[in-house]
A and B are shown apart, each in its own frame.
Chain A
Amino acid sequence: MNKKPKKKKNRKILQNWQLYIFILPAFLYFFIFHYIPMYGIQIAFKDFVPSLGIWGSEWVGFEHFTRFFESYYFWDLLKNTLGISVYELIVGFPLPIILALALNEVKDGLYKRTVQTVTYAPHFISVVVMAGMIIAFLSPATGIVNHFLVLLGFDPIPFMSDPDWFKTVYVFSGVWQSTGWGTIIYLAALSGVDPQHHEAAIVDGATRLQRIWHINIPTLVPTMVILLIMNVGNLLAMGFEKILLLQNPLNLESSNVIATFVYQAGLLDAQYSFAAAVGLFNAIINAILLITVNQIAKKRSETSLW
């Protein structure tokens, strides 16, 4: 390619100029709404004054970062952010795999389709409605969950105002909403298993469980690794919209995460530079996690994002 004379390359570009028109809107979109904001990150190192603009504002170096690291809420924010994400990863990651493996064993088409259709459905519920459902179902006085608890002889639990419950509520509502949808990609991978493997295994006297363990699960490993890398890379950014909706002054001590803090400080309190610095800190940690996990995966399983 590189050795091709320049003239020929230029002619090819000219010949296909219309293709560049096709790509132009997308190019402009990513340039304006993604790359200009990247340029804007520098306000994290400046004292941004809107009237002076990004360029004209004064450099202050790492002042905003230092202020964030030294603040009394820093460790709480980090603890909540990581706590919620890791909790979600541990509970939420294996479930779609288990459900997909189970669905794959069912030969009855109608039953399989019913389970799939129903478990996919919550994926399409908006995050606002989801938050509304959580709040309505978990209400101490009127929610159905607490009516059940009382029926079983327990005391009602004020889920939304008790900080100890926030993470569990967040994680399990997410499991309810997205486990079914998460099976799709694993089911697609499982449909690629050669039936001859199973036939041979059956002839050799393998039980169903052994076949799942020795044939199906190894098939899923590359998909699992890719999804795991992606999830870990997003560890600090997960589910921010739902957290924002479920947050209230009473559960703040366990629900305040970096992303909601950026929203609060930046958009509500208009501390643009400080919030941008906190956001950048978050993004850098994400990038480091992504790269690290990708490297580990590459070494261990030869599957990686790049």
Chain B
Amino acid sequence: MDRSRLTRIASLAVVAALALTGCSSGDSGDESGPVTLTVGGWSLATTPEFELLAEGFQKSHPDVKVEVKEYDAANYDTQMTADLSAGSAPDVYPIKCLCTFATYQGGGQLLDVSDVTGGLDETVKSAAAPYTVDGATYAVPYREDGWFLYYDRDMFEAAKVDEPDGSWTWDDYAAAAGELAKAPGADAGTYTHTWASAVQGFANAQTADGQADFLAGDFAYLQPYYERALELQKSKAAVDYGTATTNTLTYQGEFGTQKVPMMLMGSWYIATLLAQQESGDAETFDWGFAPAPQIDASTLSSPVTFGGPTGMGINAGISDRKVDAAKEFLAYISGDEGSTALAEIGITPANTSDAVAEAFFAVEGMPDDELAKSTFSTRVIRPEVPVSANTPTITTLLNDAHTAIMSGSSDVPAALEAAKQEYANQIGG
């Protein structure tokens, strides 16, 4: 081997080594110096909460720098799973959906943060319940969204129908939807979005054994909720499912452009509607929100709805010297300061202490009548789906049942029976 070839090989090796070291990030030495914390988030342009919390935290913690790493909202869990598996995930990451919490926790990807929740407001502690496994808490909720009934005051008045007063059962809701269908300019009396959760979430939360039956694969409890949904669309009181799916209707368009006078939707829509009325994407009209309809009068004083917390957890692979800063960050986002900042942009924080509620209803354009206020403060939010390792599988098979029923391809008992058999097939039992 001559010298020139040796030199060439050696220089190649150096280039390769440089390239490889360039790929690995590694912490830069200093034990006591400033800490840089990376936090996951999605769609930063339309979801301001991540940068808001990062900036707020930095103000009170000048020795910590918070960098938000952006993910794609639609593929958040896939991308986060890949990053965690590759060891390149951020130090703190949000649990976007309760439905995948068990995957992260069961996979050993979350640090125990029970000591953080211990010092927080009671409302945060109760919102953190779904993140608690065997007495240890693995994520801290910073927002908690529940489903409310949105109503268009102008359209109610035009149709001469009484507005919701906080005492509505599902029968009252159905009757009102029937009358409202005749409102001038209305496509229908109400809009049920095409998601399976828009029907199943209420059944899971409001039926006495809903959560247990869900996990046991006994889906008969969904039947009354589906029969009501079908009846509403059959009588044209609700927008037809086939029309909604084939025309890709959006809930923002249906309620925001006054095509329907009522809609059940999650509380994240409050901030969206305020922003869209401001930008002109939604029309300007007088609206309000009320508790979701109940099965009967027994739960009217503390109306039960479904939803769930959005929390942040700490990556189990975080370097030791960052753990304290990460825990302080979690305490900040659910504490009074962080929660007030969230409330000021129309987000419903998990912390609903009086100070936070005051900030929430001071937002411009926010309905601030007594019904809206009591809806915000007396809500009882049960998880959309119970947390279990089997949840993703059950959600998939119930989604099949949902599309079969709502499209009219299958009658309700047959579709639920098929789902039960599919449960036995996939999970056993």
Interaction A to B: no
B interface residues with partner A (beta carbon < 8 Å): none
A interface residues with partner B (beta carbon < 8 Å): none
